[in-house]
A = this chain, B = another copy of it.
Amino acid sequence: MSDHIRIVLVNTTHPGNIGGVARAMKNMGLSDLCLVSPKLFPHPDAEARSSGATDLLASARVVDSLDEAIADCELVFGTSARERHIPWPLVDPRELAAIAAPLKGKSRVAILFGREDRGLTNEELQRCHHHVHIPAVESFSSLNIAAAVQVITYELRMAEVAAEAGSKPQWGTDWDIELAEHRELELLFEHLERTLIGIDFLDPDNPRQLMPRLRRLLQRAVPDKVEVNVLRGILKAVERKVELQASKGGNDV
């Protein structure tokens, strides 16, 4: 939980967006929401778009001025889509997270989001230590405010998860089966080769690149033990079927 991070929305026009912001925050484990003079709040559209993050809406603090919203914060970031007259320290959301996530338990951090149509004013931006810019394409650079909050809180969450993580499992998820050992794979490839010869698909006198291609394909997938057993089961079923049919034929020759 990034409980040292405060999201501050300045003069938000559409209450639906406040709901979207609350949902995005709760998805990523944030809960400190502060609204500077919202146009309409509380409002049913905020409830609807929050999709269950009503606790964040209920605990949101509504204040009259930006200074009040950030009075107790040690570090303030302001979101900005445009170039400003005076250059200001500028970070992207990943850099913001790299700075802000480790401050948990030490400092309170505010991230400011401006009006839907014009963002933050120059005066508001000058209250910030850093500006943060989401690298959208230049010709269409204005994100929905809830989408912008989602991107930035996602980066905070990624930083938090990375800080907790030890080693990450193969394929990014816990697997239910152990991976096959080399010798099991070798037995599979031997079995596969015998079967392919048995069904006249592989000519041992002219094997070309068939087995290397099949090795490369299956090894790329890094099979687990059950998968290897399934494949060997298929090979056995092929052999059994071919032999059975042959013996039916063979008996009568």
Residues of A in contact with B (beta carbons under 8 Å apart): 1, 20, 23-24, 26-29, 49, 51-53, 86-95, 131, 133-137, 140-144, 146-147, 150-151, 154, 157-158, 161, 171-176, 196, 198-201, 210, 213-214, 217-218, 220-223, 226-227, 230, 233-234, 237-238, 240-242, 244-246, 248-249, 251-253
Report which of B200, B213, B227 forms a contact with A217, defined as CB distance below 8 A.
B227
Oligomeric state, in number of copies?
Answer: 2
Q: CA of A231 to CA of B213 in the docked complex: distance in angstroms? A: 10
Q: Which residue of B lies closest to A220 (CB)?
A: B221
Q: What's the nearest-Cβ distance from chain B to residue A155, in Å? A: 9
Q: Which residue of B lies closest to A192 (CB)?
A: B234
Query: Which chain B positions have C-beta within 8 A of A24?
Result: 143-144, 147
Is there contact, CB below 8 Å, between A174 and B143? no
Q: CA of A29 to CA of B143 in the docked complex: distance in angstroms? A: 12
Query: Which chain B positions have C-beta within 8 A of A251?
Result: 249, 252
Is there contact, CB below 8 Å, between B176 and A86? yes
Q: List 27 A-B contacts (CB under 8 A).
A: A23-B144, A26-B140, A27-B140, A29-B136, A49-B144, A51-B142, A87-B171, A87-B174, A88-B173, A133-B172, A135-B161, A136-B157, A144-B146, A144-B150, A150-B151, A199-B240, A199-B241, A217-B223, A217-B227, A242-B242, A246-B248, A248-B248, A248-B253, A249-B251, A249-B252, A252-B252, A252-B253
Q: CA of A28 to CA of B154 in the docked complex: distance in angstroms? A: 16
Q: What's the nearest-Cβ distance from chain B to residue A72, in Å? A: 22
